[in-house]
Amino acid sequence: MKIFLDGRFVDEADAKISVFDHGLLYGDGVFEGIRVYDGRIFRLVEHLQRLFASAKAIMLKVPMTQEELLKACCAACRMNSIHDGYIRLVVTRGVGNLGLNPFHCPKATVFIIADKIALYPEKVYRKGIELITASTQRVNPAALSPAIKSLNYLNNIMAKIEAIHAGTIEAIMLNAQGNVAECTGDNIFVVRGGRIETPPVSDGALIGITRGVVFELGAKLNLPVSEAHLTRYDLMTSEECFITGSAAEIVPVSTVDCRPIGAGKPGPVTKQLMAEFHKLTRSEGTSIATK
């Protein structure tokens, strides 16, 4: 495997960063997870825009332009023969000293990995995923904006540990007010009363790229999609529930804290959105061959 690292491609064994990199020492950096379908990178421009927005929010200067990163992502796919897969694009604060001061890091580190991915077993897309509610709360949006897709995922990892110990693979995270924020790595939606609803950023939700696609598909299919404050009760009593993410795509939810959602299997709205999303990902995107 070839890894893009600071302007050049190196062998996987040689893709190394310094132990003094603040991305390692403090989780100081930003990243994007991006899907590749049939030789096209889905919503690459949107991912790059979000990366630069996250970097600006934490005063991190990305040492490449969006166009240069776009070309590097395409090249990484070509170098590794990835026609269907996943790209992890990471920008760290770079090498500094052992102190917190980020301005002692003269240049950010950039690396890109293009590889295969299978986030969830195939059966969950047919039967639905079981969710539990984690006791680990989502970081307060007033402390750190959930719109920043940073390298510091310890909050999410602690909730993921709870899910694994409970015998499942994903968990719902609540905010300090008891409202639903998101899952450990995915946004969450419910279908109720003829509407599709998802938590707002103010409740701790990431502005997900796939989340945004659901809003687009809803408009196309004449299915109202909106933001709403949601509680565990709203999830448990919903007609349908599903989670979304670039790696996960759209995943139906079968149970929440052992309560069946609807009939306990993927509902008609979720299945319609999954089918439309599948068609969309195979009809648009940035071609890896032309950049």
* Model pLDDT for residues 23-70, shown as the tens digit of each residue: 999 999 999 999 999 999 999 999 999 999 999 999 999 999 999 999
Q: Which residues of the chain have pLDDT under 50?
A: none
Positions marked active-site:
149
Read out DSSP for 10-25? EEGGG----TTBHHHH
The whole-number pLDDT of residue 29 equals: 98
Read out DSSP for 98-127? SSS-GGG--S-EEEEEEE----S-HHHHHH
CA angle 15, 18, 21 (to 5 degrees): 115
How far, in Å, CA of 4 to CA of 2, rounded? 7
The whole-number pLDDT of residue 290 equals: 66
Could you check whether 2-117 and 122-281 share the same CATH topology? no
Which architecture characterizes domain 2-117 according to CATH? 2-Layer Sandwich (3.30)
The whole-number pLDDT of residue 285 equals: 96
Outline where DSSP puts E strands in the chain.
Answer: 2-5, 8-11, 29-37, 40-41, 85-92, 109-115, 129-133, 170-174, 180-183, 187-192, 195-198, 225-227, 240-245, 249-256, 259-260, 286-287
In the CATH scheme, what is the code of domain 122-281?
Answer: 3.20.10.10
The whole-number pLDDT of residue 212 equals: 98
How far, in Å, CA of 95 to CA of 106, rounded? 7
Contact 107, 121 (CB under 8 A): no
How far, in Å, CA of 189 to CA of 55, rounded? 27
CA angle 220, 127, 43 (to 5 degrees): 40
Residue whose C-alpha is closest to residue 105's, from 60, 148, 150, 51: 60
pTM over 0.85: yes
Could you count the other beta carbons within 10 Å of the beta carbon of residue 41?
A: 25
Tally the residues of the chain.
291
Contacts of 144 (CB under 8 A, 6+ apart): 150
Which backbone phi and psi does 172 adopt, to 5 degrees?
-90, 135
For the chain, give every domain's residue range: 2-117, 122-281
How far, in Å, CA of 225 to CA of 227, rounded? 7
The whole-number pLDDT of residue 3 equals: 98
